[in-house]
Amino acid sequence: MELPPRERGDELLPPGEMTRMRRRLRNVAARHDLRTVIACAFDHRTQMLPFLYADTRMAPAGVRAIGAAMADVGCHKTRIVLQQWNRNFRPSQMRLDGAVPDLFMVSSMLLHSAPCEALIRDACRIDPARRPLVIAGGPKVIYEPWSVFSAEPEDPWGADVAVTGEEYVLLSLLEVLLSYRAGREPMRSAFRRARDSGALDEVPGLVYARTDAGGVVEELVDTGIQRLVGDLDELPHPAPGYRLLEAPGNGATLGPRAIPANRVRKHARLASLVLTQGCRFGCHYCPIPAYNQRQLRAKSGQRISDEIDRIFTEYGIGYFFGTDDNFFADQRRAVEIAETLARKVDAGSRPHCKIRWATEATIHDTLKMREHLSVVRKAGLWALWLGVEDMSGELVSKGQNAEKTAEAFRLLRENGIFPVPMLMHHDSQPLYSWKGNRGLLNQLRLLRKAGALYMQVLMLTPSPGSKSYEDAFTSGLAYESVDGVPVEPVLTSGMHVVASRHPRPWIKQLNLLAAYLYFFNPLRMLWALVRSGSRIPLADAETWPPPAAREAQPRRKRLARRLKRKLRAHLGDAVVQAFGTWGVLLTLRRTLGWTYHMMRGDVRRHTRAPTSAIPMRSADGGPASHALPGTPTSTAPAAVRMPEARKKTA
């Protein structure tokens, strides 16, 4: 089920509201001297293709953005802990600046649910008198906020509040709590008073629990769908977030200080960049359009240029990945961003000449950008992940087919950009077809021939917040267990078959493995050494040092640099093949056990979508915005119903 829309015209915050919020908090935060720890939950069982390397070498955008926002408003005693690097971290043992933190935040994706729950449970072991306020957020919480609250009376663990939105929602919550906090009282105490007074109901984007005297959750109150920041330039600068990262280690507690700026690059070789958000398409399996309230949002080219400059200069990170849903969706804004970055390159800016970045787009919108691809390449775009999905159009039609895909790949490669296809495998698609291009291997052969060096194939899996999510469960498509093994969230990455009507679903699992083995293998790696697919225009281009400085270098040095660039460009294909082959072996180890269970049979299917076992309601007593159909409901007592004046502002 998609998130419901806000009223027409009320989807976005008023211009400048985020900036004003940040200014107000700076005026009060210094007096409170808050200590904050932000943890990113990560399940190491998810380490497999196609997300290897990036999953551990790129600081996730969400926690880094929240950390940067806290530092921006004056909460400088903040630490970001990535379980990718600190798998033994225990909140019950954390100390920051010699004391238990005032705030403990947890961010998680759905597939990392198990460690997320473990982190919250461990935080709840802290003595209630000293326990920090526990705040949960991230993609998992946006669509399933009830999952971070215990429904078991004999086991009352849980977050204090779930944030189902972006930075603005968290900062709004913080502003309310600091207005209620008296002196140095615990933040949980201020939270309870703000909650009981109804002040939290004025902040759309929260879900909080009402408990009995024993701490057992009686109901969840949903304050509604968040308003979005329309101009992303108003967001806090991301660069300070990298100064808050906890150094990798095996300890259960925190180190005395965060990673020094000059050592961040050693652990985070990639930096995520928020460039644009939103997509014009409405694929039934995708929650992105509804989450963005059908809005397209973006940063200006100058703001993105400044972020690249600071991150490269302060931390030495030269590779970036745009967290776009579809970078080319708004052609005017994409061109403005590209032209701004290209002008920096023409002016000889060292960071802009040395960086490389990648992002995502669709085939349809890439073809519409054909006249601007040369400028986009000059701006530093090195690779483009393309939502090919299924070239036959059986799964979804976004204007893609074999001919248009090949044309988009040709245009990208001619302009020096590596195309990376993203495909979805589904029940009706065979592994190979003798006629046409319906088969998975047929499509991979065409994509490799068109110039793809890397790719990803995922099995179509029910995604919370999408149009087809509820139907996948009520129709019996989604599995509850296989061979007695329950389908845990860790299996929902798309690399395990957990929803299929195929009579032999293990074949679909083997199809995924066959696809990766077909694309990445030692024979293809050896052939790449002879006939490299990475020798495309601008693959060995050098934009730094400037031409005048290069000409001043000794001829011998210039020749050596040129040879090194050409060799690196030629070997790129083989290196990717070697990496992919290693990834296939790791993926086999992670997925063959599940394949075995499916071969044994006894597949039990869901008959209803997962819902909250705890009653949910809106702040005024109506249906909760984030509740799925079938969720128990409760009615707000008259004493806690929102007044009419407050209802209008929310």
Q: What is the CATH number of the domain that holds 539?
A: 3.80.30.20
In a domain, 12, yes or no: no
- Residue 173 has a pLDDT of 98
Lowest-confidence region among 301-310, 332-341, 438-447, 543-552: 543-552
In a domain, 536, yes or no: yes
607-633 tens-digit pLDDT:
999 999 999 999 999 999 999 999 999
In this prediction, what percent of the chain has a pLDDT beyond 90? Answer: 89
- Residue 435 has a pLDDT of 87
DSSP one-letter code for 241: G
- Residue 147 has a pLDDT of 96
Last-in-domain residue among 577, 600, 623: 600
Closest by Cα among 467, 489, 466, 500 to 595: 500
Let me know: does 92 contact 261? Beta carbons within 8 Å. Answer: no
Averaged pLDDT, 265-271: 97
Q: Do 348 and 283 share a structural domain?
A: yes
Lowest-confidence region among 24-38, 331-345, 544-558, 608-622: 544-558
Between CA 136 and CA 140, with CA 138 as vertex, the angle to 5 degrees is 90
Averaged pLDDT, 67-82: 97
Q: Do 629 and 586 share a structural domain?
A: no
Q: Do 329 and 211 share a structural domain?
A: no
Q: Do 635 and 593 share a structural domain?
A: no
Tokens of 576: 């990717």
Q: Do 628 and 594 share a structural domain?
A: no
Q: Do 281 and 226 share a structural domain?
A: no
DSSP one-letter code for 622: S
Q: Do 219 and 287 share a structural domain?
A: no
40-57 tens-digit pLDDT:
999 999 999 999 999 999
Q: Do 281 and 189 share a structural domain?
A: no
Is residue 9 classed exposed, middle or buried when 0-12, 13-18 and 19+ CB atoms within 10 A define those classes? exposed
Residue 254's pLDDT band, with cuts at 50, 70 and 90, is very high
In a domain, 237, yes or no: no
Residue 153's pLDDT band, with cuts at 50, 70 and 90, is confident
Averaged pLDDT, 579-603: 96
Tokens of 190: 């201020």
Q: Do 278 and 220 share a structural domain?
A: no
CA dihedral over 158, 161, 164, 168, signed as positive or negative? negative
- Residue 558 has a pLDDT of 85
Averaged pLDDT, 392-398: 81
Q: Do 306 and 218 share a structural domain?
A: no
- Residue-range definition of the domain harbouring residue 394: 271-600
Q: Do 517 and 566 share a structural domain?
A: yes
In a domain, 68, yes or no: yes
Largest CA distance in the chain: 84
Count of domains observed in the chain: 2
pLDDT greater than 60 at residue 641 = no
In a domain, 262, yes or no: no
Q: Do 292 and 153 share a structural domain?
A: no
In a domain, 258, yes or no: no
pLDDT greater than 70 at residue 645 = no
Residue 637's pLDDT band, with cuts at 50, 70 and 90, is low
In a domain, 280, yes or no: yes
In a domain, 343, yes or no: yes
Let me know: does 634 contact 617? Beta carbons within 8 Å. Answer: yes
Residue 636's pLDDT band, with cuts at 50, 70 and 90, is low
Let me know: does 600 contact 483? Beta carbons within 8 Å. Answer: yes
pLDDT greater than 90 at residue 547 = no
Tokens of 400: 């893609």
